[in-house]
Structure 1
Amino acid sequence: MISSFSRPQQITSVSFDDANRRLFIADALDNNVIIDTQTTQSVSHLDYLERYRYFRQALFVNHGKNLITATSKQSVIYWDTSSGKELFHWDITAYNAGTTVFSMVMKPNGKLLTLSSNGALETWSL
């Protein structure tokens, strides 16, 4: 089955979980959604107070139960995908104002590894 998902604005981040059951889409107008790809229905939205939190990277972990996002403002956030609630928040080391996360990977030991635009490689405990 092929499904089509679109947003009215430019997409800033998209990610599938390992089993392709969950899809995260964020756009340039602060809209985001976690979708069940089998039913094409919304599972949740990320719940936060501030306006215009742009997501640049996203990584599903724990079989799609959690999502890790990176914003354009040096923040890495760990979410519960069912409720959309923030569980943890970290700030990467920024060597200048434009620093952002280029890549994220979950290591086999359960630690998150981030690589920033400044070349800083950092490890985070969940």
Structure 2
Amino acid sequence: MFSQILKATLETLYMLLLSGFLATVFGIPLGVGLYLCSRSRRLKTLYALLDLLVNIFRSIPFIILVLLLIPVTKNVMGTIIGPNAAIFNLTIAAIPFMARLAENSFNAVPSGIIDSSNSMGLNKWQMVTKV
């Protein structure tokens, strides 16, 4: 019995850590993209589309999202059961939340700091990574 609990605990940690890592890897760049698109006049349409997709995926309850992703999970992972299939679903569910967290974090930076870094000659990449 203890071995089953240990195995299940290790599988849970595996799913948590890997899906969290993947959601961070894909969600933060999406959040940076959302932030940069919201600041650009030319990319307002792209921002509106990305913002809509993030809001739609954030509003779907997880269990419904899992059911909707069954065909995609089957094609991508080759199975719909097991830890690897769960990692795919957990990652897809967490990416929009990570993206919105990243976007809100960038929006929380005071405009004075952004203006001063801009006047010092920092480009957008340097402002995103250093400010």
Structure (1 or 2) with the larger CA radius of gyration: 2
Which of the pair is proportionally richer in helix?
A: 2
Which TM bucket (shorter chain)?
under 0.3
Under a length normalisation based on structure 2, what TM-score does the superposition of the two structures give?
0.21
Q: Which has the higher strand share?
A: 1
